[in-house]
Structure 1
């Protein structure tokens, strides 16, 4: 690749996120009829992929802002695992794995206002997939349900803008996390201790930089 692109952020966001479904009727009803996301594209695929790859339908919903949500329905393929429990049937975990870990795989959709959020809650509560919880997080408010495939769906609104200071805090947190995981000593305590060290290091570097600027003036 040309050097002019080497440092550029070329992504323009999500084109689509895709999941398998064993229940295309329920999936269309949930996303098209309840959430009002129009169907915008579909692919009828026969003989695609390697040997013994089943024929499938690949269909897309417009979820706003140019983003799409897509599903695969494979003909003749049956679900497996405990279908009574919410969760991705293609990524079943051991029964001892807690529900919160299963639900870490989810789709989050953004809305602009409390009014929009409550409208989606109304639509869900009027359907067979009612809102399961409404949570006020640190900077967002969200409602949650499970779609007909067992995938957790979150609809969220921002309570306030995220500040540059919070962006920096996130960068330091992830740097500390990578450090303690790489060292084989990962815990919340070791992460916070390493993060404190990074804060001190960056503060010292900042002071040196600004002291040098003062000398140059």
Structure 2
């Protein structure tokens, strides 16, 4: 028996937290509380990185997003300024949060716009609608509400392997779920 055969994949229960970099920890905490209603729960600050032993002072802040989800940020004053991957479009890397329904999505859009923040959307994605905006660190944020039916989600699960296989062969958008692109409200 090989070592790989004697082990099994871990039993994950949820995402503990997702961490991103920020320019200013205090500004980031204030923004996420004011704009998205998150609760600041924890801060860790060290001069030495526990996992590597490097001398690299940091502030690590944690925000409760609801539902057991935690978003965290690192302020790293000893590192070069934040940048973006110049080869990845700004719309690709983003944080997406769920709101209960379309009314909540529209109310969130109105609230965010009153904060002086530009908001794109709502955008139709077949089984959900979304709005998009940027935080003060340049991270793209998405708020989404699910609008699909159980049958639609089941169909998406059924065609997912077929679509991935076709994409892997052709690098062109498969049309196994063409119905996703028809907005009933358009």
Q: TM-score, normalised by structure 1?
A: 0.68
In the alignment, structure 1 segments of 5+ residues that lack a partner are: 80-88, 181-185, 196-217
Closer/same/farther in 2, CA of residues 30 and 174 from structure 1, 3 Å limit: same
Structure 1 or 2, whichever has the larger Rg, is 1
Asked if 1:64 is matched to 2:69, the reply is no
Aligned partners of 1:29, 1:128: CA distance in 2, in Å?
Answer: 15
Q: Which moved more, 1:49-58 or 1:107-116?
A: 49-58
Report how many residues are paired.
171
Aligned partners of 1:142, 1:134: CA distance in 2, in Å?
Answer: 5
1:93 aligned partner: 86
1:171 aligned partner: 161
2:143 aligned partner: 155
Preserved CA contact (<8 Å) 1:57 1:74: yes
Q: Cα deviations across residues 90-109 of structure 1 (Å, max 9, x unaligned)?
A: 33305xx6xxx222000000
Q: Cα deviations across residues 45-70 of structure 1 (Å, max 9, x unaligned)?
A: 12125465420010011111101110
Matches within 5 A, 1:162-201: 162-178=152-168, 180=169, 186-188=170-172
In the alignment, structure 2 segments of 5+ residues that lack a partner are: 177-186
Higher helix share: 1
Closer/same/farther in 2, CA of residues 9 and 139 from structure 1, 3 Å limit: farther
Instruction: Give the CA RMSD over aligned residues.
Output: 2.7
Q: TM-score, normalised by structure 2?
A: 0.79
Preserved CA contact (<8 Å) 2:64 2:70: yes
Aligned partners of 1:117, 1:177: CA distance in 2, in Å?
Answer: 32
| Runs of 4+ off more than 4 Å | 1-5, 49-52
Asked if 1:135 is matched to 2:123, the reply is yes
Aligned partners of 2:53, 2:7: CA distance in 1, in Å?
Answer: 38
Preserved CA contact (<8 Å) 1:23 1:148: no
Aligned partners of 1:5, 1:111: CA distance in 2, in Å?
Answer: 38
Q: Cα deviations across residues 108-149 of structure 1 (Å, max 9, x unaligned)?
A: 001111222122212211113232332122111111100101
Aligned partners of 2:159, 2:69: CA distance in 1, in Å?
Answer: 29
Higher strand share: 2
